[in-house]
Structure formats: structure tokens, C-alpha cells
Amino acid sequence: MPGTNLTRDEARERARILSVDSYEVELDLRSAVLPVAEAEGAGRFRSRTVLRFRCSEPGADSFADLLAPEVRSVVLNGTAVDPEQVFDGSRIALPGLAESNELVVEAFCAYSRTGEGLHRFTDPVDGETYLYTQYEPADARRVFTTFEQPDLKAPFSFTVTAPAHWQVFSNSPAGGDPVAVESGLTWQFAPTPRISSYITAVVAGPYHVARDHYTRLLPDGRRLEIPLGALCRASLAQYFDSDEIFTVTKQGLDFFHQEFDYPYPFGTYDQAFVPEYNLGAMENPGLVTFREEYVFRSKVTEAAYEGRANVILHEMAHMWFGNLVTMQWWDDLWLKESFADFMGAFAQVEVTKYQAGWITFANRRKTWAYRQDQLPTTHPVTADIRDLEDAKLNFDGITYAKGAAVLKQLVAYVGRDAFFEGARRYFKRHAFGNTTLADLLAVLAETSGRGGEAMAAWSRAWLETAGVNALTPQLVTDSTGTVTAFTVLQEAAVETPTLRPHRIAVGLFDRDPVSGALVRTHKVELDVTAGARTEVPELVGLPRPALVLVNDEDLTYCKIRFDEASLATLRESLGELEDRLARALSWSALWNLTRDGLMPARDYLEIVLRFAGRESDIGVLQSLHQQARTALDLYVTPGARDEWSARLAEGALRELRAAEPGGDHQLAWARFFAQTAGSESDLQLVRGLLAGTARIDGLDVDQELRWTLLHTLAAAGAADEAALTAELARDDTASGKRLLTVCLAARPTPEAKAAVWREVVDSDQLPNALVEAQITGFQSAAGTGRRELVAPYAEPYFEVLEKVWSERSIEIALRIVSGLFPRLVTTEATLERADLWLREHAAAAPALRRLVLEGRDDLARALRAQRRDAARG
Ligand SMILES: [Zn+2]
């Protein structure tokens, strides 16, 4: 990525002197359907931009951004300038600006295979080509000439010429029927409201389109009409449940209009499910893009539908938080991401049928945040983002999940009404503008009644300092078992020492004498002070409970710890805990104890084997499976791995056979069984399920499950290339090819691992989706002997890092650097090698160092956990 960075200081200076009146962008995408090998220019498309802008200091110099292989002409204020003189590959110099300026640039830009810019994908099923754009934070410049920073907003007018049988979509509706031109049609889209360049979008191709309509009477008597569209590739249309997508969409539009009191300002609302997408989804106004894995080809659990609904609502919240009101620079990325993450769960529980939103939030999103917040690279929610490389890495567990958890805590602190009234004022005051933290705190100070000082203190504690606190209950009882003192202890890590005020609920649980269930007997809400000890006199005088849960109801963001007696209760009776959220919180607390090396990994696995089969919440069960796999791969002492792998497989098979036929739990256990199966009899069953000679009542071995089972055989060395490739006869699709790639890379042979290295590291020919598939297969763990195959790549990994970082696009570099870190080679030698690299590369790009530091920290954590597990005795 040589020379493609942009610093905050440069952006600030540019925004100080420039303001933009309009963009007119013309793209000619007819070349997209030319066979790449045959036609000159097939890898490129024509891009013409007319940029009208003002300069408050006439005579000053500035620059525009463009990443293009070829610039044909540059005309500034009517004067043609030699592109060679002003274009350096990523910037166009703009010397001696006038007060009012017009820049016209004609360029040829490149189609992308990395998901950055204008991505081109050809469907193996029907040979059709599909395009979509993805820009955040700074890839609009791969498609047109722009000022690539969020605070230079402008109206954008897009004109797109495409093959005649295509559909073309952009942020705004098309202003009339497309016009015929030679071998194509030209689509003219209405100008957008003032928006930032990173949320502009074009989606083009022979997409399958479902349509619907949303209407609402506004408080002022006007009727708001929003045409809705949902798109996917034609070959996925048979699986596309657009009705369900529209239902959630309408529920969300109802909710956000009700709560935000600001009519949706972007006209249409289309949602495109697109191939080889790098992220979950992107909130482009009027044209949200999603990864197409959200179109379910095979049976998935309710948790997958819930997850998709959450993403739909998250992106919708961005129409207000992010698109209408936008952060000034990436330091305040959280101003949109934390809010959207919080609002996604909030809206889901309020208006959809997916009622487990807060359980998933507590169990999955917060687990992400806790992990990230304990890395040496953690940062405050409001971050210090020096440049675009920093920005790229900031789409992390802090910005999303911790920020959202902190907002949940804020709602507990100021109340729901004050929170939403603050949001309403924020939108009205800053519509189509840009904001910083101070603007948000100002409205909250007004509406919360807590005043500016209190909000500033809250912000310092929660937004401006890093780290997670641990809360532990401490009980003193007398000889009769009555509580005589109840204290909540607060701790912080040495590196992130802030203790905070927390609004929490403490729940007390006891066994019901009749049913034996663990039920809540008391709950008190209280403020924990920003100190090490908070006394809770309300709970003195009660009999000692079986279980104390600090942060009952999940109001604050903290690691829950237990007193000894409560921990013993959970080991014996976690499955008896009736309350779903309390149970999810307990599971997540036990996982944190394991990760922190405070509970031996095998103790954790013991509890999972004992109680996971009784877990009714499917999302929680699926995280338990994931965590059990991580514990086995990384935290169990190496000598015990094989035995515990076998025990997990045995437990999985037991639960698989016991699960309700055809239900979600059966499917989840089938997948977990496939992930842990290793013995000859396990593999025999896997072969039988694939061949149809073995059956488990109600279990549909559909295409996705077939690939999961094939992966098991591949990783065990029980399926060769021919056997794996034969599956394409059933599933010769993009997904089939991707899943086959995972299987081939998972084979336990030196040749298979060498092939991954060659194709991913030594070559740059693979698209993003296949890079990811190769890495997933390469790192397939478990099983004796398989780690030895990846161990020889630890050294080459460290040797190649800087080259990868400098030569590959940032999306691909990110995947390689974090994906190929030798995480399975959990030895002191790997740790020392990582430390050596860090010492010798103090001046490497900070974003690269960050990724290596994080891999190193995970490794150190694994070694600590293994030592704890070894000492279990
Ligand atoms: Zn988002």
C-alpha cells in the first residue's frame, strides 16, 4: 500500500480550507462482462468525475484522492494539465486553487478481486457477472476522484452505463428509465442529500430483485413512502426469503421513526446480498450491502436468523447514526458503530420476534469486547486515529461491542427517556453535518438532568479510558449462615488501572426445595463507587445464598467473578439455573475465568460436557461449542488433548443422538460432533452420514452439513483430493468451490500446507474469499500430528510480514497477518520469535505491529492457560 495513506492532519487541513458543492460521477461498466484474458481493458472501467468545490483561501494548494492504473485527463478550472505532472498513483495535486473550483478527471480504474472498491465476481453456476462497491473507510477513490474523508460531505450524482440485461442500483432512486446506448443502458440516479464519500455505493449485475413498500404517517400529517428492494444473485433466488427480510425491515423502520422522530431522509431502502464480501454489512444510505452468506442455502439455526435480523437493524440505525450525522474523523467511529450495535439489539428485542437479543449481546458481543479490551493494543472507545491504516484496524471489539455495552450502561445511568431524547436532539441539531464526542455529551447533559460535569466524568470513565474491571462479591457470614457483611470488590489490570462507577444489579439465587431449580430470591440495584470496595448493606441479614451474581441483568460492562461457594454451586448445578440471561452470564463468566488462567481448561470442558446438553438457548449453545473448541485447541495442556478431544466427541455424539429430531439443537450438536470427531468409529459414522448408510433420526444431511462432514474427513486424512473434488458434482457453486478450498487446505500433508503458502503468501492471484478459505483450512486444528505440519511455517511467517504488508491490499494483508499467525504452535519458542520480531521491527507500520502484538498476546494467554491446566492435577 505504498503512498496510499492519509493522515488526520492532512484531512483536517483540507477540511479547513475546502467545502464541496457537488460530485457528478460517470462510470462505464460495460467492460465487466468481457473475458479478462481476451480483451484489452477488460480489467478496467472508465470513470469520469466532475467535482465542484470552494476554497476559503484562494491561491492555496490541496489534493484530491484517486487510486487508478491510468488517468487520461485532468482539467482544473478549465485548464487541462498533464496527468503525469499532477497524478502520483493515489493523489491528484491541486495547485493554486480559486475561490470556486471545478475539477474534471477522466480515468480508468481497476475492478477489484479483494472486496475493496468495485468488486467483480463471476458466478460459476450461470457465468453471469456481478459488481458491487465497498468503500469504508477510504476506497471510493478506487472508483472515482474524491476527497476521501468523512467531513467533506456533498450531494453525489451517479450515472452508470452497464450491459443491457443488468439491474443497476445506487444510493438514490434512478430518475427515470435507463437510456439505450451501444451494447448497454445508461442509468441516471437522482442527486443524494449531502453525504460522505465512504457511504456512496453502486450495485450492478443481473441481480434477482424482490420488491415491497413501506409507508408511514408522519406527525406533521405528511405520508412517508419508502420503496423497498432486496437483491441477491440469480442463482441464489431459490433460497432467498425476502419476505422475512422485509418483515424485519418494516419493524425496524417503525421503531426508528418512533424513537428518533426524524423521517428517513434517503428515499429508497434497498438491501443487496453480495458475493465475496469482506464484512457483515455496510450501511450505504438507500443501498445497504450484506454478505450473501445471510441467504441461507441449507438449514441454519434460529440464531442465524436472529443474527441476520440484528445486522439489518444495525445497518438501519446507521441511517441516522452515521449517515445523517457523521463522525468528523475516524477517532469518533464509535459515534456510529457503538450506537448501531446497541440499537440493533435494542430494536430487535422491542419489535421483532427475536427475543434473545440481550442474551446474545451479553454472551457473544461482550465476549468479543472483553477479549479485545485485555489485549496490549486496547484503546479507549474514543480512539486516537492518526491515519487510514489505524482507521482500518479500529473496526474492532472496542468500537462495536464495548461501545455498545457502555451505552447500555449509560441507559441504566440516565434512563431510557433521557437517552432517546438526547438522540432526537442530536439528529435535529446536526442533520447532514459532522460531530465529535463533545456534541453528543452536550445533548446528554441537557436531557439527562445530570449536567455537563457528570457527563464529562462519565465520559472519562467509560469512553476515554481503556480496560475492563472485574467485580467480585465478598460475603461474611455468622455461625447461623446469615450474611453479616456484603462487599463488591472492584479490580483493574495493571496496564489499564481505571476503577469506575458502575450501575449494577446483584442477584441472589437459591435452590427451590421442590423443583431443585436455582431461582432468584433477591435482587438489588445499586451504584458501585469508583473504588476497590463497595458495601451493600441491603443484602446484610439474609441467609447465605447458593449463588451470587454481580451484574445480574447485565447492566454494566465488567468481568463477573464469583465467591468460592457460588463457583461450587455453578460446577454442580449450572444447568439448574432457570433464568436464561443469568445462565448466559454465568457461562460467559466461566469462559473469562478459563481465558484468564483462573480455571483449568479441563474444568471448563467438564462443566460444558455436563450442562451444555441442557442449554435451551441455541445461540448460547453455539458459543459454548466454539469456546470448547478454543479451549481444546489452545488452553488444554498438550498431554491431555487427545483424551479430551475424544471425550468431547463422545459427549457431542451422545447429545446429537438425544436431541430433538430435526431441531436446531440437533444441527448444532451435529456440527460440533463433526468438529471433534477423530476416532475410527467416529469417522465411520461421518462416512455413513455422507453415504446415506447411517442415519440419525430427523437430521437432514444437506449441502452445508455435507461440506462440514467432508472437512472432518479431509482434516483427518480420510478423504483424498479426488474424493473431495467429487463433491462439486453436487454443488458446483461459488460456495461449493470455497468450501472445497477449505477442505483441500485442511488435509494433513506437507504438500497441502505448502500449496496454501504458495497460493496465499507467494502469489496474489486469489480473490479475498479464497484467501480466507485457504487460511481456514490451513489452521484446522485438533488431531494428533496436525500441528506439526504448520509448525515449519512459523519462521517464514515472521520473515514475510513486512513484504506482505507493503505489497498487498490492506484487506488481504489483514487476513494473512492475523490469519496465519502461528497460533497453533503454542510453544515458548514461538513466543520468543514473536518478541524478537517486535524488537527488531520497532519502526514497522503501527497497524502491522498491532496485529503481531495481538497474536503474541493470544499465544502468551494460551501458554498461561496451559500451565494452569497442567497444574490441575
Ligand atoms: Zn456498523
CA of 265 to the centre of ligand 1 (A): 18
Average pLDDT estimate for 46-60: 98
Q: Which cell is 710 given?
A: 467432508
- Region 477-491: what's the mean pLDDT? 97
Is a pLDDT exceeding 80 seen at residue 322? yes
Report pLDDT digits (tens) over 95-108.
Answer: 999 999 999 999 99
User: In three state form, how does the secondary structure of 599-629 look?
Assistant: CCHHHHHHHHHHHHHHCCCHHHHHHHHHHHH
C-beta atoms surrounding 38 within 10 Å: 7
Answer yes or no: is pLDDT of 39 > 60: no
> For the packed helices 403-414 and 416-430, what is the interaxial angle rounded to 10 degrees?
120
339 C-alpha vs ligand 1 centroid, how far in Å? 9
CA separation, residue 737 to residues 296, 741, 742, 778 (Å)? 16, 6, 9, 16
Residue 340, pLDDT > 90, answer yes
Identify the bridge partners of residue 106 per DSSP, sorted by sequence position. 48, 73
Selection from 571, 573, 584 nearest residue 623 by Cα: 584
Q: Taking residues 133-161, report their average pLDDT.
A: 98
Tell how far the Cα of 333 is from the centroid of ligand 1, in angstroms.
9
Distance CA 633, CA 300 (A): 25
What DSSP string runs through 794-809?
A: HHHHHHHHHHHHHHS-
φ, ψ at 681 (rounded to 5°): -70, -35
Let me know if 622 is exposed, middle or buried by CB neighbors in 10 A (0-12, 13-18, 19+).
buried
pLDDT computed for residue 4 by the predictor = 83
pLDDT grade, residue 697 (50/70/90)? Answer: very high
Q: What DSSP designation does 195 have?
A: B
Asked whether the bond before 193 is cis by omega within 30 degrees of 0, the reply is no
Q: In a 3-state reduction of DSSP, which class is residue 329? A: coil
CA of 298 to the centre of ligand 1 (A): 27
Distance 469 CA to ligand 1 centre (A): 26
Catalytic residue among 315, 553, 615, 704: 315
CA of 17 relative to ligand 1 center, distance in Å:
30
Asked whether the predicted pLDDT for residue 820 surpasses 50, the reply is yes
Q: What is the mean pLDDT of residues 554-576?
A: 97
Cα within 13 Å of Cα(190), Cβ side: 11
Give the predicted TM-score (pTM) of the model: 0.97
Question: For position 35, what pLDDT does the model report?
Answer: 77
d(CA 362, CA 846): 31
Question: What separation in Å is there between the alpha carbon of 460 and the centre of ligand 1?
Answer: 24
E-assigned strand segments in 39-190? 44-55, 62-65, 70-76, 79-81, 91-94, 100-110, 117-122, 129-134, 156-162, 167-170, 179-181, 184-188
The 10s digit of each residue's pLDDT in 212-258 is 999 999 999 999 999 999 999 999 999 999 999 999 999 999 999 99
CA distance 187 to 171: 13
Helix axes 846-870 and 580-595, enclosed angle (nearest 10): 90
Instruction: Give the angle 643-646-648 at the CA atoms, nearest 5°.
Output: 110
* Dist. CA 557 → ligand 1 center (Å): 20
316 CA → ligand 1 middle, Å? 9
Q: If you measure from the C-alpha of residue 314 to the centroid of ligand 1, how many angstroms do you get, rounded to a whole number? A: 6
Distance, CA 111 to ligand 1 centroid (Å)?
Answer: 25
Q: How confident is the model at residue 199 (pLDDT cuts 50, 70, 90)?
A: very high
pLDDT score recorded for residue 783? 58
661: its cell numbers: 429430531
CA of 336 to the centre of ligand 1 (A): 7
Q: Which long-range contacts (CB under 8 A, 24 or more apart) does 319-324 make?
A: 319/256, 319/264, 319/265, 319/266, 319/283, 319/285, 320/256, 320/260, 320/262, 320/423, 320/427, 321/423, 322/199, 322/283, 323/195, 323/199, 323/266, 323/283, 323/285, 324/262, 324/265, 324/427, 324/431, 324/432
Give the span between the Cα atoms of 807 and 793, in whole angstroms.
20
The Cα–Cα gap between 698 and 694 comes to 12
pLDDT score, position 40: 60
Distance separating alpha carbons of residues 138 and 134, to the nearest angstrom = 9
Kind plus residue range of the DSSP H or E element containing 485: strand 483-491
Where are any strands of DSSP class E within 492-617?
Answer: 502-511, 518-528, 533-535, 547-552, 559-560
CA neighbours within 13 Å on the CB side: how many for 446? 12
pLDDT tens digits, 525-557: 999 999 999 999 999 999 999 999 999 999 999
User: What is the whole-number distance in angstroms between the Cα of residue 715 and the centre of ligand 1?
Assistant: 35
pLDDT of residue 109: 97
- Measure 340 CA to ligand 1 centroid, in angstroms: 6
User: pLDDT above 90 covers what percent of the chain?
Assistant: 95
Q: Is the pLDDT of residue 785 over 70?
A: no
Per-residue pLDDT of 264-315, as tens digits, reads 999 999 999 999 999 999 999 999 999 999 999 999 999 999 999 999 999 9
Q: Higher confidence at residue 38 or residue 824?
A: 824
How would you classify the pairing of strands 470-477 and 559-560? parallel
Residue 728 Cα to ligand 1 midpoint, Å, equals 35
pLDDT value of residue 413 = 86
Q: Determine contact, residues 582/509, Cβ cutoff 8 Å.
A: yes
CA 284 to ligand 1 centroid distance, Å: 10
**CA–CA separation, 131 vs 32, rounded Å?**
8
Label residue 75 exposed, middle or buried (CB < 10 Å: 0-12, 13-18, 19+): middle
Q: Can you name the residues that pair with 100 across neighbouring β-strands?
A: 54
Is residue 648's pLDDT more than 70? Answer: yes
Residue percentage of the chain with pLDDT more than 70: 98
pLDDT score, position 41: 65
Burial of 685 (0-12, 13-18, 19+ CB in 10 A): buried
Q: Are strands 100-110 and 70-76 parallel, antiparallel or unpaired?
A: antiparallel
For residue 778, give the C-alpha cell. Answer: 490451513
Cell numbers that stand for 597 in this block: 488462567
Ion ligand 1, residue ranges at CB < 5 A: 337, 340
Mean pLDDT of 784-789: 78
Please report the beta strands in 425-469, taking only residues with DSSP state E, as ranges in sequence order.
434-435
317 Cα–ligand 1 center, Å: 8
Supply the pLDDT for residue 786: 78
Residues 589, 401: Cα–Cα separation, whole Å: 17
Instruction: Indicate the average pLDDT of the chain.
Output: 96
What whole-number distance in Å separates Cα of residue 60 and Cα of residue 55?
A: 8
Task: Please tell me the distance between residue 479's alpha carbon and the centre of ligand 1 in angstroms.
Answer: 54
Q: How far apart are CA 830 and CA 856, in angstroms?
A: 9
Distance CA 362, CA 350 (A): 17
703 three-state secondary structure? helix
39-64 burial, b at 16+ Cβ within 10 Å, e below that, comes to eeebbbbbbbbbbebebeeeebebbb
* pLDDT number for residue 2: 40
Q: First CA to last CA across the chain, in angstroms?
A: 51
Q: How far is the CA of 41 from the centre of ligand 1 (A)?
A: 35
> Ligand 1: distance of its center to the CA of 315 in Å?
6
Residue 1: which pLDDT band, with cuts at 50, 70 and 90?
Answer: very low
Distance 177 CA to ligand 1 centre (A): 33
Distance 633 CA to ligand 1 centre (A): 31
Instruction: Categorize the per-residue pLDDT at 188 as very low, low, confident or very high, splitting at 50, 70 and 90.
Output: very high
Alpha-carbon separation of residue 807 from 71, 143, 329, 762, 764 (angstroms): 22, 20, 26, 11, 9
Whole-number Å distance, alpha carbon 252 to ligand 1 midpoint, is 15
Average pLDDT over every residue of 566-580: 97
Instruction: Tell me, yes or no, if 315 is annotated catalytic.
Output: yes
Q: What is the pLDDT of residues 422-476, one digit of tens each?
A: 999 999 999 999 999 999 999 999 999 888 898 999 999 999 999 999 999 999 9
C-alpha to C-alpha distance for 108 and 46, rounded to whole angstroms: 5
Cell of 152: 467533506
Look-up: residue for cell 441477491?
Answer: 232
Tell me the sheet residues that pair with 217: 223
| Residue 180 alpha carbon to ligand 1 centre in Å | 37
Burial class (CB in 10 A: 0-12, 13-18, 19+), 350: middle
Distance 432 CA to ligand 1 centre (A): 18
Mean of pLDDT values over 133-154: 98
Number of neighbouring beta carbons within 10 Å of residue 73:
13
Instruction: Give pLDDT, residue 36.
Output: 66
Q: How far apart are CA 679 and CA 647, in angstroms?
A: 11
| pLDDT confidence of residue 702 | 97
**Residue 135 has what DSSP assignment?**
-
Does pLDDT of 670 surpass 60? yes
